[in-house]
Chains A and B, each alone.
Chain A
Amino acid sequence: MFDGILTVIGLAFLLFGLFVFFSAVLGLYRLDYVLNRMHAAAVGDALGIFCVLVGLIFLHGWSLPAAKTLLVFLFLWLTSPVASHLIAEMEVFTISDIRKECEVEER
């Protein structure tokens, strides 16, 4: 019974993660400006990866590989925002007129 519940929770997480990845890929394909596309891709990188890996932990049960999966989270959530930050910074520095492409908040 308990195992069944765990399996169902794990499958739900896994399927939701796949859905998030699907929407991320759709957004990546559909949007046409770098920053918008990055926004779409970041959803998959953060939430999609999280859901898939949590689903795997639930399906597999708590063990050493599951603990390593947590380290994978840590690594991905540490590096992916930094990489996105660098791409966005480069785009903002090199574009000639950013106001043409998106709204800029004035402060």
Chain B
Amino acid sequence: MNKTPSKQSWWLRLVEWVDGDREPKDQTLFVMEQRPPRHVQRSDAEFATQDKHRLHRFRRWYPVCAVLICLALMGILMAAVLTMPTFGEADNPINNEVAEHYLEYGLEETGSANVVTAMILSYRGFDTLGESCVLFLAVAAVMMLLLRDEKNTDEHDQQKQEREDGILAAHPDLILRRAAWVLVPFVFLFALYVLLNGEVSPGGGFSGGTILGAGLILYSAAYGPKQMRVLMDARRYAAVRTFGLVLYVLLYGIYIFLGANQMPNYLTGMTLLIDLAVGLVVACTVYGFYVLFSRGEF
């Protein structure tokens, strides 16, 4: 077609090769099967040309618009960066007495060597309480939408679900079960370590709870809902979830009450307990999303 292979065609050929639409001519080592092109020819020729024309126009304007939007965004961000104070200067607004206080008195006042834990669970525990409530409410909302009970399940759905459960029970995945048998204890152990050690090292309620939830998901996926119900059914799930949030509310309420009335604080291990409460809420959220979206029941 082209007498002189220009740079354009070379670039186009490379692009087609990367997209997987075209094989290189030289197939010395790996001979792959020649595929028909992916774009199927439509029967209606006029419609096809119209479509092609539209696509062509879109392809021409899309990069231009994308580049313009990106440039505008870059300009705004650069302008914002120019007005920011220099990084690491001593008299920046972030280096004020608040951060200093956290770093100096954090261990003494909260009993937690990890400053991040001291901040999010004690100094700013009210904020974290709000986050826990958001997680709790998210699971409640998903339950409202997706939980299946006798009112919103008809005969057909139930039969389908029973058939699927029967197929799953008849063909247990041996590889997954073996892997889960090895992994699940270690996952739970690591989750407990992260939860309980969050006071003195990186870790804490959110990360530990996520690992705990992931372990529950792995167990549930490997051994099926029937086995999972022995460990955690709907009632137990609701109990654990509520217990986590109520424990947090109680502990933090006591904390605020003591602090506001200038009473001495003897609750040294409180950060640990709050950590545990947050971990329970987070684990229940992660596991609850999995269960509700996959089966719709516990």
Residues of A within 8 A of B (CB): 26, 29-32, 78-79, 82, 85-86, 89
**Is the CB–CB distance between B19 and A30 below 8 Å?**
yes
The 0/1 profile, CB within 8 Å of A marked 1, for residues 14-45 of chain B is: 00011110000000000000000010000000
Nearest chain A CB to B181 CB, angstrom units: 11
Q: Which A-chain residue is minimally distant from B167 (CB atoms)? A: A93
Which residues of B from 181 to 197 have beta carbons under 8 Å from A? 182-183
A85: B residues at CB distance < 8 A: 175-176
B157: A residues at CB distance < 8 A: none
Count: A-B pairs, CB below 8 Å: 24
In the bound assembly, the distance between CA atoms of A85 and B222 in angstroms comes to 13
In the bound assembly, the distance between CA atoms of A35 and B19 in angstroms comes to 17
In the bound assembly, the distance between CA atoms of A30 and B35 in angstroms comes to 13
Query: Does chain A have a CB within 8 A of B173?
Result: yes
Q: Which B-chain residue is minimally distant from A32 (CB atoms)? A: B20
In the bound assembly, the distance between CA atoms of A34 and B173 in angstroms comes to 21
Query: Does chain A have a CB within 8 A of B179?
Result: yes
A82: B residues at CB distance < 8 A: 175-176, 179
Looking at chain B, what size class is its interface with the partner chain?
10 to 19
**Is the CB–CB distance between B20 and A78 below 8 Å?**
no
Nearest chain A CB to B37 CB, angstrom units: 12
**Is the CB–CB distance between B173 and A78 below 8 Å?**
no
In the bound assembly, the distance between CA atoms of A86 and B19 in angstroms comes to 27
In the bound assembly, the distance between CA atoms of A85 and B180 in angstroms comes to 14
Given A30-B18, A31-B20, A86-B182 contact (CB < 8 Å): no
A and B contact pairs by CB, cutoff 8 A, 10 listed: A26-B18, A29-B19, A30-B19, A30-B20, A32-B38, A78-B179, A78-B182, A78-B183, A79-B183, A85-B175
B182: A residues at CB distance < 8 A: 78
In the bound assembly, the distance between CA atoms of A86 and B38 in angstroms comes to 28
Main secondary structure of the interface of A (DSSP, over half): helix
Q: Which A-chain residue is minimally distant from B221 (CB atoms)? A: A86
**Is the CB–CB distance between B18 and A86 below 8 Å?**
no
Residues of B within 8 A of A (CB): 17-20, 38, 173, 175-176, 179, 182-183
In the bound assembly, the distance between CA atoms of A89 and B19 in angstroms comes to 26
A89: B residues at CB distance < 8 A: 173
A29: B residues at CB distance < 8 A: 18-20
Nearest chain B CB to A33 CB, angstrom units: 10
Question: Residue A79 contacts which of B38, B173, B179 (CB distance < 8 angstroms)?
Answer: B179
B19: A residues at CB distance < 8 A: 29-30
**Is the CB–CB distance between B20 and A86 below 8 Å?**
no
In the bound assembly, the distance between CA atoms of A49 and B2 in angstroms comes to 44
In the bound assembly, the distance between CA atoms of A21 and B38 in angstroms comes to 27
In the bound assembly, the distance between CA atoms of A90 and B173 in angstroms comes to 11
Q: Which B-chain residue is minimally distant from A37 (CB atoms)? A: B20
The 6 closest A-B pairs by CB, nearest first: A82-B179, A30-B20, A32-B20, A85-B175, A82-B176, A82-B175
Beyond the given A29-B20, A30-B20, A82-B179, please list 6 additional residue pairs across the A-B interface where CB-CB is below 8 A. Answer: A29-B19, A32-B20, A78-B179, A78-B182, A85-B176, A86-B173
In the bound assembly, the distance between CA atoms of A31 and B183 in angstroms comes to 32
Question: Residue A86 contacts which of B17, B176, B183 (CB distance < 8 angstroms)?
Answer: B176
A32: B residues at CB distance < 8 A: 20, 38
Nearest chain A CB to B110 CB, angstrom units: 29
Q: Which B-chain residue is minimally distant from A89 (CB atoms)? A: B173
